[in-house]
Structure 1
């Protein structure tokens, strides 16, 4: 059995539901679980906002001193820090799960993942790099940004339930208890920088260069989109027509698209994290990508249908207000005055 899961707080359940729909349509043999970094009892969701997929609340998986992690991390850091703990829980709780696959909630799966399933019969870990070829300019993101954020994108990871993967998960857990921060000056970007070590520390790791995997704003420079006669999305490499000698380039099916940084309230923006591409606005000095626009229009329609606007109104119960978190980090070495400041802030 293959267990696929995501992690989110209630404010991202529209994305998690959309991912679940795509897996149900393309890989119905997968067991899909939403790891919830939140409390359903505190949210008291109305019936229409309760997903059809099982939700596993983070306080049920036995993370040691989880409260201290909540004190240290903001919502992004916390949702990434618990990733290996969920994987470890699935290893222990679902012995029939021979493979465990993590997807960020803002992903849509477009095909049966046959090649990935085959790879996980052989490899302990499957990772995808942010890019498979050099970035063409210094627009954002470029290779300097990837050096800051990690070679691999951990919006996806595939793992076998074998000894090597278990050792990796245990090592990853130890690192993320305290060091899953966004702190570029310290060389940290949540869980991703740590996994740069995975192919060095552990054997049997596949770095998959499939152009249809983990497609996102960071690799659009090397991937262009078209639909075949059956309406299926395919990807070709960055070769502009006319093609040499009238030939057509090799194409690969789009496996899953990662809509990182997309905001359905700003439907004309590919991602808030990039400056290289636009859909079709000629007034901007960006490369126009009308080929990708239908994929984003479809995603926006699914998010709205899955109650995105309602979910966004729910704050995560585990997250301290930003001003308190900032004091905890900046003044952690001044415990007495720090505690007085915290008491004052929390009283307001």
Structure 2
């Protein structure tokens, strides 16, 4: 059995449902789970907002020092940091799962992922690079940006259940407890830089360069899209496996992604139908309603501000200053 999962808070459940719908259509024999970094009882979702897919709340997977991670991380960092912990949970608690595959929620799967299954029969890990061809037009993202954010895009990772992949997961877990921050000056971009080490430290890692895998704004310079006989094709020769709509927002439908300035939709009419489809599916899956729910585990900015002030006031220097001023 193959287990696919995503991770999100309630505000991203429209994306998670859209991903699940695409997997149910293309890979119906797979089990799909939504890892929920949120509290369902606190949100009290009405029935129409409960997805038709199992949700595994993060407090059920027994992450040591999860409270500390909530204090350290923002919502993006926290949702990313728990990824190897979910993989570890599935390795231990889903004995029938021979493969565990992670997808970011903002992905649509377009084909049966037969090639991926075949590679996971032979390799321990499957990773996709951000880009496979050089780019030097000075626009964003460029090679320097990818040096800052990591060689591989961790919106996808496939793992075969094996001793070697388990060693990788245990190593990755340790790194993400404290070091899953967006801190480019210190060489960190959530979980992605850590996985640069995976092909070095661990055996049987497949680097997937098939242009139909993890197509996204960062690799559009090397990929064009067309529809042939009811299926989507990349570069006229390869079936589109899955498209990653990273940075696309329903409220700015004219933007390919908020993270790039290389292409507009008039520049790339080939991708317009792909984005129209995604836009409509998010609306159909109640995106506007889910967006209103704050994440239970992330404190609002005002609370974070007062916490930082209290922490500063407790420092030895501030205690000394306070004592001097009040002498």
Q: Deviations over 1:32-52 (max 9, x none)?
A: 000000000000001110000
Q: Which residue does the alignment assign to 1:344?
A: none
Check whether the contact 2:312–2:318 (CA below 8 A) recurs between aligned residues.
no
2:286 maps to 1:307 = yes
- Correspondent of 1:322 among 301, 312, 317: 301
Check 1:325–1:173 CA distance in 2 against 1; reply closer, same or farther (3 A cut): farther
Check 1:33–1:108 CA distance in 2 against 1; reply closer, same or farther (3 A cut): same
Query: Distance between the aligned counterparts of 1:145 and 1:222, measured in 2?
Result: 17
Q: Which residue does the alignment assign to 1:233?
A: 232
Query: Distance between the aligned counterparts of 1:339 and 1:52, measured in 2?
Result: 53
Q: Which residue does the alignment assign to 2:24?
A: 24
Give the count of matched residue pairs. Answer: 319
Which moves more between the two structures, 265-274 or 172-181? 265-274
SS in structure 2 opposite 1:101?
strand
**Aligned counterparts, 1:1-348, within 5 A:** 1-228=1-228, 230-236=229-235, 251-280=237-266, 288-322=267-301, 324-325=303-304, 335-336=314-315
Query: Distance between the aligned counterparts of 1:339 and 1:328, measured in 2?
Result: 15
Check 1:235–1:176 CA distance in 2 against 1; reply closer, same or farther (3 A cut): same
Query: Distance between the aligned counterparts of 1:187 and 1:29, measured in 2?
Result: 40
Q: Which residue does the alignment assign to 2:322?
A: none
SS in structure 1 opposite 2:126?
strand
What displacement does 1:147 show?
0.4
Check whether the contact 1:331–1:338 (CA below 8 A) recurs between aligned residues.
no
What displacement does 1:136 show?
3.7
* Structure 2 unmatched runs, 5+: 320-327
Check whether the contact 2:159–2:165 (CA below 8 A) recurs between aligned residues.
yes
What displacement does 1:320 show?
1.7
Query: Distance between the aligned counterparts of 2:308 and 2:218, measured in 1?
Result: 30
Q: Deviations over 1:32-78 (max 9, x none)?
A: 00000000000000111000000000000000121110000000000
Which moves more between the two structures, 313-322 or 4-13? 313-322
SS in structure 2 opposite 1:68?
helix
* Structure 1 unmatched runs, 5+: 237-249, 281-287, 341-348
Q: Which residue does the alignment assign to 1:244?
A: none
**TM-score normalised to the size of structure 1?**
0.88
Q: Deviations over 1:200-237 (max 9, x none)?
A: 11111000100000000000000001111x2200000x
SS in structure 2 opposite 1:62?
coil
Query: Distance between the aligned counterparts of 1:279 and 1:93, measured in 2?
Result: 44
What displacement does 1:321 show?
2.4
Query: Distance between the aligned counterparts of 1:72 and 1:176, measured in 2?
Result: 11
Q: Deviations over 1:231-280 (max 9, x none)?
A: 200000xxxxxxxxxxxxx5100000000000011111100000000011
SS in structure 2 opposite 1:197?
helix
Check whether the contact 2:136–2:143 (CA below 8 A) recurs between aligned residues.
no
